[in-house]
């Protein structure tokens, strides 16, 4: 397992004309975008990076998640996308300029991962897509209103059902 970890980390080398810097950018997209629209933005960024002498290592779509605070037009949820890439210093300015111009992008941040990486040591990886959280599918909780009595009644029914299940199990085991 330690071999895999060592292979995933970039080798430390001195900056030369043959090395590139490694960057990661995380950007947030509007929550109402379709997967096709998200892919179209990813491909536009991939083209910008390639045109400017960089190379994309991997795109990871984290899916729709709740934000820590309202972003953009006071939205509380966004689609998170992470991109890991290699390039020269001016590439970051071009990527961020384009992200600023995309109206679908709510927020972005870029970090420098490594100062000098040999491009041959960082193979291009397959893009990854995660589902995101499932908060949309959860029913909203009512604050002890009219539904409070119904919730208590259904809780008592569930307890009675569980007691019946445990009695059935003890009869089957011969107790």
Q: Name, of 8-12, 65-69, 70-74, 140-144, the range with top average pLDDT.
A: 65-69
Please give the average per-residue pLDDT across 21-50, as a whole number.
95
Identify the three-state secondary structure at position 12.
coil
Phi-psi region of 99 (alpha: psi -120 to 50; beta: other; left: phi over 0): alpha
pLDDT bin (cut points 50, 70, 90) of residue 3 is: very low
Please give the average per-residue pLDDT across 31-58, as a whole number.
95
The CB density around residue 7, as the number of other CB atoms within 10 Å, is 10
pLDDT bin (cut points 50, 70, 90) of residue 162 is: low
**What's the maximum distance between 2 C-alpha atoms anywhere in the chain?**
79
Question: 137 or 72, which is more confident?
Answer: 72
Say what the pTM is.
0.69
Two structure tokens written together for 38 = 């998200």
Judged against a pLDDT cut of 60, whether residue 117 lies above it is answered with: yes
Quickly list DSSP for 48-96: HHHHTT-EEEEEEEEEEEEEEEEETTTEEEEEEEEEEEEE-HHHHHHHH
Could you give the CA distance from residue 23 to residue 42 in angstroms, rounded to a whole number?
16
Confirm if 114 and 84 have CB atoms less than 8 A apart. no
pLDDT of amino acid 151: 47
| CATH code matching the domain that covers 2-137, chosen among 3.10.350.10, 3.40.50.300, 3.30.70.60, 3.90.1150.10 | 3.30.70.60
């Amino acid at each position: 397992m330690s071999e895999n970890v060592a292979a995933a980390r970039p080798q430390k080398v001195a900056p030369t004309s043959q090395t590139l810097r490694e960057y990661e950018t995380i950007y947030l997209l509007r929550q109402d975008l379709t997967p096709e629209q998200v892919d179209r933005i990813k491909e536009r960024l991939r083209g910008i990076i390639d045109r400017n002498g960089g190379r994309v290592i991997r795109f990871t779509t984290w899916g729709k998640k709740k934000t820590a605070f309202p972003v953009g037009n006071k939205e509380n949820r966004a689609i998170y996308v992470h991109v890991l890439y290699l390039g020269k210093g001016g590439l970051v300015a071009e990527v961020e300029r384009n992200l600023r111009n995309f109206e679908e992008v709510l927020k972005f941040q870029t970090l420098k991962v490594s100062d000098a990486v040999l491009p041959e040591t960082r193979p291009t990886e397959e893009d990854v897509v995660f589902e995101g959280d499932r908060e949309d599918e959860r029913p909203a909780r009512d604050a002890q209103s009219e539904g409070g009595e119904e919730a208590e009644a259904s809780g008592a029914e569930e307890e009675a059902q569980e007691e019946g299940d445990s009695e059935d199990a003890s009869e089957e085991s011969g107790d």
